[in-house]
Structure formats: structure tokens, C-alpha cells
């Protein structure tokens, strides 16, 4: 178990770092539940935005009559997401806010952990008992015995972690390294470019050669896809690099299908060819980069033959891709998350990020690399609104990596051990790797588990106390974005249903009960929203609290042609792009495979991908909504015909997929989306709904990535039998 003082960089911290380095769809049926409400009446329309961990951050409009939603539709004022929410969210008010299964009162456990048996209690009782128990732990073991666990469930700046961060810092709780998404990618990109924001989403239309490298926008970044199609109709070639034939790969001009986790070698191989064939931009390299000589020497060994052996690609494919990429202008590489969940994840991002500097792609509008859109928000907004107050900043408490939750909960050597786990905005029993170890921890009778939720998730079933959280239709928020440059505020459309309360209010109440009277616990949500906008940065020109309320999402006021590295200006210490970075270990990324011994290879010969292929779920969110489950169908395992016939498996057969960590039962889908030796199952389905009570993460590994301390979730090996 790795617990360390220094945290990895999570997304929020990175945004703050950015500042410091200065750098409609109408509802077909109306909600059936009628809600009495004192504070809201008659017809009103408010603007809001999607809270999900999704790059699109759609802006929407909600119309209500007497606290009932009569229309929920995409806002036309945000041209990026205009006109269309995704399939997951079309019917959100009915599916989530007014879902009859929603938890609307505090609950206290009555049955055994995991059984999901609870009794309703009042807020007063819940707050009083939870704070008494937390105080007892703090007094006997110290605050570090308490571990908060939260992630992407709500990406609003306020309901994300504004007040909770203050609360946990105040009690001296362990810190959570929030690295399950984005961390390895960011670590890799910082080592090369010093920042994540490259080409902006809409500008992809100017590209003429687009490589979608380990990303599946048709599903995961749906509002980018029309822009990609527009580029294609203007003559761009679309290439997808993915070991799985995703919907996007299928719709591309060219699908390149390397073995999982071999992208570092592929990118180094492309650089080998580009340099060998003199297709690089020497002028750009001379002016704006560091370490070309070291790179040249380093990529010597990554010739097409060697790279072909590693990736499984034909040598001709590697050469042709290098030539076409380097010779097309403008050329763009779109990366998002896919590759980072491999052991070599950060190295892959590093190696890929070098390509646009090597070829000078950054010089052309629409050329370069496209990843997150962090830095403009980092610079523009007043992050003090949600930051820790000075007195609590830089806590000295230990950090525990979220990937290693199972290890942490079961580690008898940990001092102090984890006595209380406080989960909100996350469903770790489903989304964290090594699920059975996580569940073993959650089963501990001496662990106090507190969960704030909308539903009885795989995690909430193990709680001692559950607090009912509001949904995005019921609370204030302000939302930046990691995939667009639109800023949104979210105005509550209806009063909180039942006894639900926003995350912020839960932690305010707990703070008050525990005797913390500091003013930073008393700030209201709306005041924090307004304070976030207190900034005279040029990017906020024309954007105010009132304009956002009136119009919905607004685009940051950015320069007309955003070309961040046309003339260098990398945000590294040297100001240059680093092919070689002496401050990072290793200074140049290398392909380092995971080595398995003969016995391991025989026992578990198949490489398992557990990726986000469900169209109607967002991670595990919505995977309890009957209509969406019906649309999605049952969980399945995609298996190549050769691997299936070797095991006498036919399409539709029931299978047990297993390894040393767990078993998952599902049906076979014989498919040429995966190559021989690779199998794929969707992540998101709830364990508690299916045979065996296990889902994809029962088979995944809690290994950390090479940099960024992310999760090498996709490095899993399994065997399969028919049942």
C-alpha cells in the first residue's frame, strides 16, 4: 500500500496550478411524482448544465410549473452542444430526479453490510450520530483514520468538493489522491508541453488529418463528433488508433489496431520513421524544442520491425501512418483518456505529445494536439471561491491513492488504519479496480461507512449511514469544463425533493454539529458561485452572473485564432517542448512491457479490456434506470471467434470470466471488434443486479501507472469457461 505525503496532481489542483504558474428534447411524459413546494411556484425557465464527468458539458434549459418539470432541453445558446443532449440524459428528470427509487431521506443500516437493509431516520439524528462517531475516531485515532472518497459524480465546482474539502481538511482527515481519471495523461503531457490545452474542440474542422488516439468520441465525446465529420467532409482523413474496434474506429477512414498498452512503442516508431525519412520540421525543432539529439538516438531501436513485433501491426502500417501524418497539414492528434489506463499510460501520452512538435503541426491552425481545456478556466476564474482557506491550505496529512482503496481498507499495518470512509460523488464498489478487495474492506464490521447518494448503489448498500443528495436540478452550481471552453452556471429548477440536500449543505451541517464556526463553512452556494466570477481576466469579458443566468453557457472570450504553440510558448520551465526532460524520470519515455511468467500466461491467457462502451450509462451512473438498462441490454463479453472456438464457446453462451481476483458471469458475444487474445466487457453495469454480484472491476488490477499514480485498470489478464 502506497500512502504518501505528496499528492499526485488531480484535475482541480492542476487548474489551480495553471493559475499559479500564470501562466431539446421536451419530456414525453411528465414526472409522476407530485411535490409540494413552498418556495417555487408557477412557470419558470432556468439555465443549467450537465454535471457529469463528460467532456461535453452540455448547457440546458429547464422549464417548471409549480415545482414540476415540464420541459428539459438542450440550450440553443451554446452552439457546441446546441440542440441535443445525449441518450443518457434525454429523460433525466424522470430517470434520476423523479425516479421512484431515489433516496429521499437519511437512512441507517439495519441488516448486514451489503444487504441494503436500512431504516429511515431524521437529518437531526443522522447528523448527530455521524458527527459523534467521527469525533470519537478523531479523539482516539486522529483525523487520518477518516478517508473521504469522492470523484466524478458531480463535476460542479460547488457540489464537487468546495465545502467537503474544507471539512476534511479541518478534521485532519487523510487526503485522497484522486487519480482514477486524467492523472497519468496530465503527468505525461506536462513532462512534454507543460500544459494540457492544445487545439480547441471547434477548431478540429480545420484539420486535414485527424488521429483519434485511444478515444471513442461517438460515444464518449458526442458533441465533438459532428465537428470531426465536418472536417472529414472538407477532405480530412480520420484515423483511429484503438485495440478495440469502437464505434468511432468503425466510422473512421482507417482503423489501426495495436495490442493494448503498446502506444508508447508505436509513437516512438512513428518518430523513428519521420526522422529517418526527413519528414520532421527542423526549423520548429531548432526554435521551440529541447532534446532532439537524445530523441534521435533513443528512437533508433524503434524501427518498424521492432515496433511491429511489439504492437502486432504490419511494418507497412507503421510507415504509412508516419508518412501520411507528417505530410498532411494541418494534422491533429486527439487524445483523451483511453491510453492512460495502461501501465505505460503516461509514457504513451508523453510519446504521442511529441509528434506535433517534431512535425511542426502546431504551426497550422487546426494542427497540433487536442486534450483537455483546463488552462483557460484556470486562468480566468477566481478559484479562491472554492479553495481551502489559508489556515487549512497545504495540509500535512497523509494521502491515500483512490486506486488502492481495497488495499487501504484491508491494510492492518496502516497506522492509523482507516476507521471511517466517507463516500460522495462516487460509486467505488463499482468503479474502483480490484472490486473484491474493496468489498472485503466495505464488509468490515469495524468500519464506519457514510455515503451521500441518489440511489442504493453497489457502494451505498454497504453504508452505515446514507444521506440523500440533491440532483443537479435542485441546487446551485458553476461548472467549468475539461472538453469545451464554455462556462455554465446551474440554477436550481425545483426545490429539493423529499429531504435531499446538496453536498455543500451536508458538510455545512456536519461542520456546525462538530463545532466549527469558521466563516468558510457559512458561505452559501450562490455566494461561492458569484465569487468564482469575481475576476477581471479578459477571458471573462461579457460573462457575468446575470448574463449566465439569462443566456446559459457562454464561451470564454478567447483570442480569435487559438494557436498556443505556433511559436513555442510551452508552459514548461524552459518554455520549450521537451523531447528530453531531465527533470522527469525517465527523461525520455520508453516502452516497458509488463512481464508475466509462463505459468501466469497459461493460467490467464486473455487480455481483458473493461471500457466505457455503454451508450446509456455514464460510468456506473444511470445503470439502475430500467428504461436505460433495457436499451443497453445485458452485460456481455466480446470475444474473437478463434478464442471462442478454442473453448467451444458459441454466441450467447453463458460464461464465467475469471482470474486470481474474481469471477464475472455474462454472455458471449462473438465479435471481430477484438483481435485474438483480447476480450472486452463493458464497464458500468451494477454488480448488485447480476449473477455472482460482481462486475468488470472484479477482474481489474489496482496497479498504478508509470507516472501520475493513475490506475492501470486495463492491464488485466483472464481465462474464460462456459458455465
Ligand X SMILES: Nc1nc2c(c(=O)[nH]1)N[C@H]1C(S)=C(S)[C@@H](COP(=O)(O)OP(=O)(O)OC[C@H]3O[C@@H](n4cnc5c(=O)[nH]c(N)nc54)[C@H](O)[C@@H]3O)O[C@H]1N2
Contact status: 426 vs ligand X (CB under 6 A): yes
Least distance to ligand X from the beta carbon of 709, Å?
Answer: 14
User: Which of the stretches 50-58, 74-82, 282-290, 319-327 binds ligand X when contact is defined by CB under 6 A?
Assistant: 50-58
Name the residue nearer to ligand X (CB basis): 222 or 532.
222
Contact status: 54 vs ligand X (CB under 6 A): yes
DSSP string, 467-524: EEBP-GGGS-EEE--SS-SEEEEE--SSPPSTT-B-HHHHHHHHHHHTT---GGGT--
User: 3-state class of 526 per DSSP?
Assistant: helix
Contact status: 219 vs Mo ion (CB under 5 A): no
Segment holding 409, helix H or strand E: helix 405-410
For residues 189 and 348, what is the distance between their CA atoms, to the nearest angstrom? 10
Residue partners of 162: CB distance under 8 A and separation at least 6: 385, 386, 504, 528
Taking CB under 5 A as the criterion, the residue among 9, 46, 181, 584 binding Mo ion is 181
For residues 56 and 75, what is the distance between their CA atoms, to the nearest angstrom? 13
Least distance to ligand X from the beta carbon of 89, Å?
Answer: 10
Helix axes 263-276, 292-299, angle to 10 degrees: 110
Name the residue nearer to ligand SF4 (CB basis): 81 or 694.
81
Least distance to ligand SF4 from the beta carbon of 211, Å?
Answer: 22
What residues between 173 and 212 interact with ligand X by CB under 6 A?
180-181
For residues 358 and 188, what is the distance between their CA atoms, to the nearest angstrom? 17
List helix spans (H) across 50-147: 92, 123-141
For residues 467 and 453, what is the distance between their CA atoms, to the nearest angstrom? 6
Q: C-alpha cell of 402?
A: 483512490
Least distance to ligand X from the beta carbon of 96, Å?
Answer: 8
Query: 51-71: b or e for each residue (b if 16 or more CB lie within 10 Å)?
Result: bbbbbbbbbbbbbbeebbbbb
Task: Please choose which of ligand SF4, Mo ion, ligand X, none residue 50 contacts, taking the beta carbon within 5 to 8 angstroms, the exact cut-off set by kind.
Answer: ligand SF4
Least distance to ligand SF4 from the beta carbon of 624, Å?
Answer: 16
For residues 613 and 212, what is the distance between their CA atoms, to the nearest angstrom? 16
Task: Please choose which of Mo ion, ligand SF4, ligand X, none residue 671 contacts, taking the beta carbon within 5 to 8 angstroms, the exact cut-off set by kind.
Answer: none
Name the residue nearer to Mo ion (CB basis): 52 or 272.
52
Whether the CB-CB separation of 102 and 457 falls below 8 Å is answered with: no
Binding-residue pattern over the window 663 to 702 for ligand X, x denoting contact by CB under 6 A: --------------------xx-----------xx--x--
Name the residue nearer to ligand SF4 (CB basis): 86 or 460.
86
User: Which of the stretches 49-57, 63-71, 296-304, 653-661 binds ligand X when contact is defined by CB under 6 A?
Assistant: 49-57
Name the residue nearer to Mo ion (CB basis): 181 or 510.
181
Name the residue nearer to ligand SF4 (CB basis): 88 or 531.
88
Least distance to ligand SF4 from the beta carbon of 24, Å?
Answer: 12
Segment holding 286, helix H or strand E: helix 282-288
Task: Please choose which of Mo ion, ligand X, ligand SF4, none residue 457 contacts, taking the beta carbon within 5 to 8 angstroms, the exact cut-off set by kind.
Answer: ligand X
What residues between 603 and 622 interact with ligand X by CB under 6 A?
609-612, 614-615, 617-621
Least distance to ligand X from the beta carbon of 529, Å?
Answer: 15
Task: Please choose which of ligand X, ligand SF4, Mo ion, none residue 683 contacts, taking the beta carbon within 5 to 8 angstroms, the exact cut-off set by kind.
Answer: ligand X
Taking CB under 6 A as the criterion, the residue among 64, 99, 220, 640 binding ligand X is 220
Binding-residue pattern over the window 320 to 359 for ligand X, x denoting contact by CB under 6 A: ----------------xxxx--x-----------------
Least distance to ligand SF4 from the beta carbon of 226, Å?
Answer: 12
Give the chain's radius of gyration (CA, Å). Answer: 25
For residues 489 and 541, what is the distance between their CA atoms, to the nearest angstrom? 16
Task: Please choose which of ligand X, Mo ion, ligand SF4, none residue 500 contacts, taking the beta carbon within 5 to 8 angstroms, the exact cut-off set by kind.
Answer: none
Name the residue nearer to ligand X (CB basis): 67 or 221.
221
Task: Please choose which of ligand X, Mo ion, ligand SF4, none residue 685 contacts, taking the beta carbon within 5 to 8 angstroms, the exact cut-off set by kind.
Answer: none
CA dihedral (585, 590, 592, 593) in degrees, to 10, reads 150
For residues 694 and 679, what is the distance between their CA atoms, to the nearest angstrom? 17
Q: Taking phi first (over 0 means left), then psi (-120 to 50 degrees means alpha), and beta for anything else, what does residue 633 get?
A: left
Least distance to ligand X from the beta carbon of 35, Å?
Answer: 18
Count of residues for the chain? 723
| Separation of first and last alpha carbons in the chain | 35
Residue partners of 9: CB distance under 8 A and separation at least 6: 17, 183, 186, 187, 190, 708
What residues between 486 and 525 interact with ligand X by CB under 6 A?
503
Q: C-alpha cell of 554?
A: 457562454
Name the residue nearer to ligand X (CB basis): 50 or 540.
50
DSSP string, 165-218: HHHHHHTTPPEEE--SSSHHHHHHHHHHTS-S--S-GGGGGG-SEEEEES--HH
User: 3-state class of 107 per DSSP?
Assistant: strand
Least distance to ligand SF4 from the beta carbon of 618, Å?
Answer: 5
Contact status: 167 vs ligand X (CB under 6 A): no
List interacting residues with ligand SF4 (CB under 6 A). 50, 52, 54, 56-58, 81, 85-86, 88-89, 222, 618
Name the residue nearer to ligand X (CB basis): 103 or 326.
103
- What are the DSSP E strand ranges found in 616-709? 636-639, 654-659, 662-670, 678-682
SS (H, E, C) 682-701: ECCCCHHHCHHHCCHHHCCC
Contact status: 219 vs ligand X (CB under 6 A): yes
The contact set with ligand X (CB under 6 A) reads 51, 53-54, 151-154, 159, 180-181, 213-216, 219-221, 241-244, 246, 260-261, 263, 336-339, 342, 424-427, 430-431, 452-455, 457, 469, 503, 609-612, 614-615, 617-621, 683-684, 696-697, 700, 713-714
Amino acid at each position: 500500500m502506497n500512502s504518501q505525503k505528496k499528492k499526485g496532481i488531480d484535475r482541480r489542483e492542476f487548474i489551480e496550478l495553471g493559475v499559479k504558474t500564470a501562466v431539446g428534447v421536451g419530456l414525453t411524459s411528465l414526472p409522476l411524482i407530485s411535490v409540494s413546494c413552498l418556495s417555487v411556484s408557477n412557470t419558470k425557465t432556468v439555465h443549467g448544465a450537465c454535471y457529469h464527468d463528460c467532456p461535453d458539458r452540455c448547457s440546458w434549459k429547464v422549464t417548471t410549473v409549480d415545482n414540476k418539470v415540464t420541459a428539459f432541453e438542450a440550450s440553443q445558446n451554446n452552439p457546441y452542444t446546441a440542440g441535443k443532449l445525449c441518450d443518457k440524459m434525454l429523460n433525466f428528470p424522470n430517470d434520476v430526479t423523479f425516479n421512484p427509487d431515489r433516496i429521499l431521506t437519511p437512512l441507517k443500516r439495519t441488516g448486514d453490510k451489503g444487504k441494503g437493509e436500512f431504516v429511515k431516520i431524521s437529518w437531526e439524528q443522522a447528523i448527530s450520530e455521524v458527527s459523534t462517531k467521527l469525533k470519537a475516531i478523531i479523539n482516539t485515532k486522529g483525523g487520518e483514520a477518516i478517508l473521504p472518497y469522492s470523484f466524478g459524480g458531480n463535476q460542479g465546482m460547488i457540489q464537487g468538493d468546495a465545502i467537503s474539502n474544507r471539512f476534511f481538511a479541518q478534521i485532519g482527515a487523510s487526503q485522497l489522491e484522486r487519480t482514477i481519471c486524467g492523472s497519468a495523461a496530465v503527468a505525461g503531457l506536462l513532462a512534454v508541453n507543460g500544459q494540457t490545452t492544445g487545439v480547441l474542440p471547434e477548431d478540429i474542422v480545420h484539420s486535414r488529418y485527424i488521429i483519434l488516439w485511444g478515444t471513442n468520441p461517438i460515444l464518449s465525446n458526442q458533441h465533438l463528433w459532428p465537428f470531426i465529420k465536418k472536417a472529414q467532409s472538407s477532405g480530412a482523413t480520420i484515423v483511429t488508433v484503438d485495440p478495440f474496434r469502437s464505434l468511432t474506429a468503425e466510422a473512421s477512414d482507417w482503423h489501426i489496431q495495436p495490442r493494448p498498452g503498446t502506444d508508447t512503442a508505436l509513437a516512438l516508431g512513428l518518430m523513428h520513421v519521420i526522422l529517418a525519412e526527413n519528414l520532421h520540421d527542423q526549423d520548429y525543432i531548432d526554435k521551440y524544442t529541447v532534446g532532439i539529439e537524445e530523441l534521435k538516438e533513443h528512437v533508433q531501436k524503434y524501427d518498424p520491425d521492432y515496433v511491429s513485433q511489439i504492437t502486432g501491426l504490419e511494418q507497412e502500417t507503421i510507415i504509412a501512418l508516419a508518412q501520411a501524418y507528417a505530410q498532411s497539414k494541418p494534422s491533429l492528434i486527439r487524445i483523451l483518456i483511453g491510453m492512460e489506463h495502461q501501465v505505460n499510460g503516461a509514457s504513451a501520452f508523453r510519446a504521442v505529445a511529441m509528434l506535433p512538435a517534431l512535425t511542426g503541426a502546431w504551426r497550422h491552425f487546426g494542427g497540433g494536439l487536442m486534450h483537455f481545456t483546463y488552462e483557460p478556466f484556470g486562468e480566468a476564474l477566481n478559484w479562491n471561491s472554492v479553495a481551502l482557506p489559508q489556515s487549512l491550505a497545504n495540509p500535512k496529512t497523509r494521502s491515500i491513492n483512490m486506486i488502492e482503496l481495497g488495499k487501504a481498507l484491508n491494510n492492518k499495518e496502516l497506522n492509523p488504519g482507516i476507521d471511517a470512509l466517507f463516500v460522495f460523488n462516487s460509486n467505488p464498489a463499482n468503479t474502483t479496480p480490484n472490486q473484491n478487495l474493496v468489498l472485503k474492506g466495505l464488509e468490515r464490521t469495524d468500519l464506519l461507512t457514510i455515503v451521500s447518494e441518489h440511489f442504493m448503489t453497489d457502494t451505498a448498500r454497504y453504508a452505515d449511514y446514507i444521506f440523500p443528495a440533491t440532483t443537479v436540478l435542485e441546487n446551485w452550481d458553476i461548472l467549468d469544463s475539461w472538453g469545451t471552453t464554455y462556462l455554465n452556471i446551474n440554477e436550481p429548477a425545483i426545490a429539493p425533493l423529499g429531504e435531499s440536500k446538496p453536498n455543500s449543505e451536508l458538510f455545512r451541517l456536519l461542520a456546525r454539529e462538530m463545532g466549527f464556526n469558521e466563516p468558510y463553512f457559512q458561505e452559501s452556494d450562490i455566494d461561492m458561485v458569484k465569487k468564482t466570477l469575481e475576476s477581471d481576466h479578459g477571458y471573462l469579458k461579457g460573462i457575468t452572473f446575470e448574463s449566465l443566468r439569462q443566456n446559459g453557457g457562454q464561451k470564454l472570450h478567447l483570442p480569435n485564432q487559438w494557436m498556443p504553440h505556433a511559436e513555442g510558448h510551452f508552459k514548461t520551465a524552459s518554455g520549450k517542448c521537451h523531447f528530453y526532460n531531465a527533470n522527469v524520470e525517465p527523461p525520455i519515455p520508453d516502452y516497458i512491457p509488463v512481464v508475466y511468467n509462463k505459468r501466469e500466461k497459461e493460467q490467464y491467457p486473455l487480455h481483458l479490456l473493461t471500457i466505457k462502451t455503454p451508450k446509456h450509462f455514464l460510468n456506473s451512473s444511470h445503470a439502475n434506470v430500467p428504461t436505460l438498462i433495457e436499451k443497453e441490454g445485458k452485460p456481455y463479453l466480446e470475444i474473437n471467434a478463434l478464442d471462442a472456438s478454442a473453448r467451444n464457446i458459441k454466441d450467447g453462451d453463458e460464461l464465467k470470466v475469471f482470474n486470481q481476483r474474481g469471477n464475472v458471469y455474462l454472455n458471449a458475444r462473438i465479435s471481430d471488434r477484438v483481435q485474438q487474445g483480447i476480450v472486452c466487457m463493458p464497464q458500468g453495469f451494477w454488480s448488485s443486479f447480476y449473477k455472482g454480484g460482481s462486475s468488470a472491476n472484479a477482474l481489474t488490477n489496482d496497479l498504478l501507472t508509470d507516472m501520475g499514480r493513475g490506475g492501470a485498470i486495463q492491464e488485466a489478464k483472464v481465462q474464460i469457461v462456459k458455465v
